[in-house]
Amino acid sequence: MLQLLFAKPQHCFAVGGDKGPPSSTYTGCQPEDVYLIQYTSGATGTPKPVVVTAGAAAHNVRAARKAYDLDLSTIFVSWLPQYHDCGLMFLLLTIVSGATCVLTSPSAFVQRPLLWLELISKYQATCTPVPAFALPLVARRGGPCLHKLDLRSLRNLVLINEPIYDSDVQDFLKVFADAGLHPSAIAPSYGLAENCTFVSTAWAPGGVPSFPDIPVHAQLLPSARLGSYDIDVDVHIVVVDEETFEQVEDGREGEIWVSSESNANGYLGQPWLSHEVFNCRLKGGVGRRFIRTGDRGIVLGHQRFLFVTGRCRDMIRSHDRTVHAHYLETRAYKSHPECLRGGCIAAFQVQNGEDQVVAIIAELQKGKDKGALSLVRICKGIQGSLFKEYGLEVGLVGLVKGGSLPKTSSGKMQRWAAKEKLARRELEVVQLVWFGKSCGSSGKGRAESLGPLNGPSMKYNGVHESRDWMLSYPHITSLL
């Protein structure tokens, strides 16, 4: 959500000095003037209002323009909402670059995803931003329409909303290669509201190795080249040990910190939190001031590619294993892609006595919510798949109706909100299965079906299961 603050010329007056008639001449805003209150996405907590100054916004637009090599010949196509920070950014880039922008609505894209590519083809667009999770959705529907598309003009396919999976990009390119989409257009990027919007991209203009000749780490594409990035766009990025505040050596994962003139001033009305996030310094307390992004990353290779691996708050820790939640969600979907909705799965941990239990909640496709036995098999399949892939013992798997899980305005999963909704029994649960510690990869051992959380009583394997029985179940009462 964005709140724009504009000063109307007729409301501007001279202040101080000799008293005289009010001046109606508007001389423009100053770099330190606040022009925008921009809310964070809410992916890891309640959305927070970020105070963006005119100077920070101007620097951010200049940095993005330089990074993507935009000019008068640039033609944008975008379906991102203008109340979203990235949607607004590309409008500002259009103005600053003297470019052309073709807009459609998010609802139009959702109803017919191929409209996005048709507009690129019709207007010979050179640059378009899109959330990375939208690529599989478009690729599944693209085959029959290839003869109508000409994507040869596209120079920047700007991928936002990490994680950015290499397999999704490869599949998308494979589907639309015959339409002229060139791999060098792929521009994996990174941004956050606390830095106005734009932070970095791994894309580079001609003459520099580009996709697919860039490295892949843990299935992910990089979102920056740090080798010369500070000089190119005046954005300084480091990876830091969250406990010691020391910069880690390349090849070791830590929290991403960002320092630039694009840094926002802080959170509106939250001075303590603003100090904690916006006023950080590396160990020693001197030098640059950084923003703590709350994102995890790792730097690899001689060109120092930055990979955004996940979010600090969404990491799953179980015994001696640590896994980013998005990997579990992706693996869970691949266990039953014919029944589950892609991008609509949440992985998090819940308290069970003194233990933290891994929980997976997945949305079912329409028409797949019938038959208790088959639903339990899906749950067991998810549990077994995750144990086999990551060695994690999942304690609870739930299946819910489509549209039940909360997301941000840009489509990011709100795992924290999903956990709260499950605890308050606000999800439209179709099936819950609790797994004992001895289940392992086979799914054998104690696996108890709890049935629908908010539905009528039912029977499974001869056991009568009502909501009253479930609420007295010790493993669930600690969750609820």
pLDDT at 297 over 60: yes
The answer to whether the CB of 165 falls within 8 A of the CB of 135 is no
Q: What is the pLDDT of residue 200?
A: 94
Q: How confident is the model at residue 361 (pLDDT cuts 50, 70, 90)?
A: very high
Beta strands 254-260 and 321-324: pairing type? unpaired
Per-residue pLDDT reduced to its tens digit, 124-171:
999 999 999 899 989 988 666 777 899 999 999 999 988 999 999 999
pLDDT at 479 over 50: no
Alpha-carbon 227 to chain mean position: 25
Per-residue pLDDT reduced to its tens digit, 15-29:
334 455 555 677 778
- Structure-model confidence comparison of residues 334 and 443, the more confident one: 334
Beta strands 291-300 and 305-311: pairing type? antiparallel
Q: What is the pLDDT of residue 9?
A: 37
The answer to whether the CB of 233 falls within 8 A of the CB of 63 is yes
pLDDT at 424 over 60: yes
Dihedral of CA 61/63/69/71: which sign? positive
How many helices (H) and strands (E) the chain has is answered by: 13, 24
pLDDT at 457 over 50: no
In sequence order, the β-bridge partners of residue 240 are 247, 255
Q: Which residues, other chains included, contact 399 with Cβ-Cβ below 8 Å and sequence gap of 6+? A: 361, 362, 363, 364, 369, 375, 378, 379, 429, 430, 431, 432
Per-residue pLDDT reduced to its tens digit, 299-345:
999 889 999 999 999 999 887 789 999 999 999 999 999 999 988 99
In this structure, what token pair is assigned to residue 43? 């992916």
The full set of domains in the chain, from first to last, is 28-312 (3.40.50.12780), 319-477 (3.30.300.30)
In 3-state terms, what secondary structure has residue 305? Answer: strand
Peptide bond into 81 cis (omega under 30): no
Per-residue pLDDT reduced to its tens digit, 82-95:
888 899 999 999 99
